[in-house]
Amino acid sequence: MRKRPGIGAIQKQRLEQEKYRDKSNVLQENQLEQMEKQLEVFHSKLEEFAHKHRHEIKKDAQFRRQFQEMCASIGVDPLASTKGFWASLGIGDFYNELTVQVVEVCLATSSKNGGIIHVDELRKRLVKTRRKSKQASMEINNDDIRWAASKLRIFGNGLTVIEVTRNNYFIQSVPGELSLDHTALLQLASSENTAFISVSIVTSRLNWERLRAEKALNHMIKEGLAWMDSKNKETLYWFPSMFADCIESS
């Protein structure tokens, strides 16, 4: 018969477990302290980098995007800083102004495109709008627009960035979310370079049943995201958000 451990052995085992626990806590505290020190060093180096390259950050959109990625990697948000060194860079003011301009353009064009606009078209309109701005000399690119639009998520259903393919984005400025089927229709219409699709195009390209294609297309019509043209042999569904791109490519 196996002998059970006595009270003394159990107490000894508990003491050893407590020692291991204490040692583990000490190690975790030391690791946390080391991480905090490393972050402080990163913050300091990042400020030095920003100070040295502040001109490039303001003027060069590509450089600005890479700088933002550096900031995000260590949890720094220069856009949220309203005082101190980060505020002096003027990045927050730049994006605040850009966000307002994005909203203005989206609202001004919503009656024509149903509240969805291609990011390329939006950027072209913003360039014209910003000619009278104090920050007109600061170049903007599609990444800037996406970044500015994403900041409105804190207000709920504001601007939504829709990625239909890699580096191919639309900005939706009306409430409601598009399903995967609706996004697939946008992607298909964009790839056709004609600004329109039909039920037969959808069924052949996407291998959908006719009922599925009609349901998704009718939803786009209902939401004002597409226009229906029934004067042809087959009904065509036009996407006004792509008109400008098709005119330029023709």
* pLDDT (tens digit per residue) in 65-76: 777 777 767 666
- Mean pLDDT for 179-206 is 88
18 vs 15: CA distance, rounded Å: 5
Name the residue with higher pLDDT: 31 or 181.
Answer: 181
Rounded to the nearest integer, the mean pLDDT of the chain is 76
Say which residues have a Cβ less than 8 Å from residue 148's Cβ, sequence separation at least 6.
95, 98, 99, 102
Confidence of residue 86 (pLDDT cuts 50, 70, 90): low
pLDDT at 145: 86
- Mean pLDDT for 151-161 is 66
Name the residue with higher pLDDT: 124 or 63.
Answer: 124
Say which residues have a Cβ less than 8 Å from residue 208's Cβ, sequence separation at least 6.
202
By CB atoms closer than 10 A (0-12, 13-18, 19+), residue 178 is buried
pLDDT at 37 over 80: no
Q: Find the Cα–Cα–Cα–Cα dihedral 164, 166, 167, 171, rounded to 10°.
A: 20
Task: Please tell me the least confidently modeled range out of 66-75, 177-186, 189-198, 222-231.
Answer: 66-75
pLDDT at 247: 44
CB atoms within 10 A of CB 30: 10
Q: Two tokens at 203?
A: 């069924």
Task: Please tell me the least confidently modeled range out of 35-44, 93-102, 119-128, 220-229.
Answer: 35-44
pLDDT at 209: 95
135 vs 94: CA distance, rounded Å: 7
Longest dimension (CA), the chain: 95
pLDDT at 245: 56
Sheet bearing 236-238, strands edge to edge: 196-198, 236-238, 227-229
Residue 151: what residue type? K
Name the residue with higher pLDDT: 213 or 135.
Answer: 213
- Mean pLDDT for 33-61 is 70
CB atoms within 10 A of CB 120: 17
- Mean pLDDT for 85-104 is 72
* pLDDT (tens digit per residue) in 97-144: 788 888 888 888 887 888 888 899 899 988 888 877 666 667 788 888
